[in-house]
C-alpha cells in the first residue's frame, strides 16, 4: 500500500467560497510531504500581502510562528507572489532558504489597465534581514527526492508569451518576458510528474516541454496553479487545450491568473478532471 502522499493546500488564491479564508489577487500553496518516517513543509509563493497570508495560514489550522518551512520557492518576482514574504519571514522563528531566479528583484511594470509597478516590493537585503537565505539561480534546483524546480524555461511556443510587461535593463524599459518564471516539478513515480505553477508566464506548454526535457518523463499526472491565460485569445486557449490533451493529465486545478474563460474552457474539455478550487481547499497527491 502506498503510504506516502503530498498535500497541496491553497493558502492564497483569487477565489474564495464561504469560509474563514480571505481571497486576494495572488497565490501561495503549502506543500506538505508526508513520508513513511518524515514530514516536510515547503511553500510555493507568498501571495500579495502578509495580512492575507498569515490570516489564511491560521485559518488552515496552523500557528504561523510555529511553522517551519524547509524551503520557500518563488515562482517569479511579481508582487502578487512575493508581497507576503517579508511579514511571513518576520513571523517565523528560524531562517528559511528561499529558492528563485536572480531576476526576482528587478524593477518591472505592466501596462494592462494603465502603467503600474508589479515588482517585488522588497529589496534583497530586506529579505535577508527578515530571515530569508536567498538561493538565486537560473538553473533547476533539486530540493529533495520529490521536488525540483524547472529553472529558466525556454520559450519555444512564442505566442504563449504576454507582450504587456516591461522591465528596466541597462537604464531602459525593454520587453519583459519574465525570464524568472519557474514552476515546481513533483515526482509522482518513475514515469509521471505533477506540475505546480505560480503564474506560468513561460506558457503552460513551454513549461511541460521543459519538464520532459529535464526529467525524461512524458506523463503529466496533474497540474495545479496559475496558468496565466487571463485575457488570452480564444486561439491561444484552444492551442493550450489541444496540446494538453496529448499530455492527458488526470487532474487540472487552474488557480489565480488562469482566467475565467480558460477555466470554463478547461472545465468543458475535461469536465471530470478539472477542479475549480478556492482558498483553503487541498489536493492529496499519492507518491511512490
- Residues in contact with Fe ion by CB under 5 A are 78, 80, 199, 257
Phi, psi for 52 (deg, rounded to 5): -70, -45
Smaller CB separation from Fe ion, 187 or 228: 228
Smaller CB separation from Fe ion, 27 or 208: 27
Q: Which three cell numbers stand for residue 81?
A: 507572489
Smaller CB separation from Fe ion, 33 or 253: 253
Strand partners for 44: 29, 73
Smaller CB separation from Fe ion, 83 or 287: 83
CA 284 to chain centre: 17
Q: Provide, rounded to whole angstroms, the least separation between the CB of residue 151 and Fe ion.
A: 17
Among the listed residues 269, 78, 73, the one whose alpha carbon sits nearest the alpha carbon of residue 162? 78
Smaller CB separation from Fe ion, 77 or 280: 77
37: alpha, beta or left, given left = phi > 0 and alpha = psi -120 to 50?
A: alpha
Using a 10 angstrom Cβ sphere, with 0-12 exposed, 13-18 middle and 19 or more buried, the burial of residue 13 is buried
Question: Cβ contacts of residue 142 below 8 Å, gap of 6+?
Answer: 148
Q: Provide, rounded to whole angstroms, the least separation between the CB of residue 78 and Fe ion.
A: 4
Q: Provide, rounded to whole angstroms, the least separation between the CB of residue 181 and Fe ion.
A: 7
Q: Provide, rounded to whole angstroms, the least separation between the CB of residue 263 and Fe ion.
A: 15
Q: Provide, rounded to whole angstroms, the least separation between the CB of residue 162 and Fe ion.
A: 9
Amino acid at each position: 500500500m502506498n503510504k506516502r502522499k503530498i498535500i497541496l493546500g491553497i493558502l492564497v488564491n483569487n477565489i474564495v467560497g464561504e469560509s474563514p479564508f480571505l481571497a486576494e489577487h495572488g497565490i501561495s500553496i503549502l506543500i506538505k510531504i508526508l513520508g513513511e518516517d518524515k514530514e516536510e513543509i515547503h511553500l510555493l509563493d507568498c501571495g500579495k500581502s502578509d495580512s492575507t497570508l498569515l490570516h489564511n495560514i491560521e485559518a488552515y489550522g496552523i500557528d504561523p510562528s510555529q511553522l517551519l518551512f524547509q524551503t520557500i520557492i518563488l515562482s517569479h518576482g511579481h508582487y502578487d507572489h512575493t508581497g507576503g514574504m517579508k511579514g511571513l519571514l518576520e513571523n517565523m522563528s528560524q531562517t528559511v532558504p528561499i529558492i528563485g531566479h536572480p531576476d526576482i528583484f528587478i524593477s518591472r511594470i505592466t501596462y494592462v489597465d494603465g502603467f503600474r509597478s508589479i515588482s517585488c516590493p522588497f529589496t534583497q537585503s530586506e529579505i535577508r534581514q527578515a530571515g530569508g537565505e536567498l538561493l538565486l539561480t537560473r538553473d533547476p534546483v533539486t530540493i529533495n527526492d520529490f521536488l525540483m524546480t524547472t529553472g529558466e524555461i525556454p520559450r519555444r511556443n512564442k505566442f504563449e508569451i504576454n507582450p504587456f510587461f516591461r522591465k528596466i535593463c541597462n537604464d531602459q524599459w525593454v520587453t519583459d518576458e519574465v525570464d524568472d518564471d519557474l514552476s515546481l516539478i513533483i515526482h509522482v513515480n518513475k514515469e509521471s510528474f505533477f506540475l505546480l505553477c505560480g503564474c506560468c508566464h513561460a506558457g503552460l506548454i513551454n513549461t511541460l516541454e521543459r519538464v520532459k526535457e529535464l526529467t525524461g518523463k512524458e506523463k503529466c499526472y496533474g497540474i495545479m496553479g496559475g496558468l496565466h491565460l487571463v485575457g488570452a485569445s480564444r486561439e491561444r486557449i484552444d492551442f493550450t487545450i489541444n496540446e494538453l490533451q496529448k499530455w492527458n493529465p488526470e487532474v487540472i486545478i487552474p488557480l489565480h491568473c488562469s482566467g475565467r474563460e480558460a477555466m470554463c474552457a478547461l472545465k468543458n474539455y475535461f469536465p471530470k478532471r478539472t477542479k475549480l478550487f478556492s482558498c483553503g481547499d487541498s489536493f492529496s497527491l499519492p507518491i511512490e
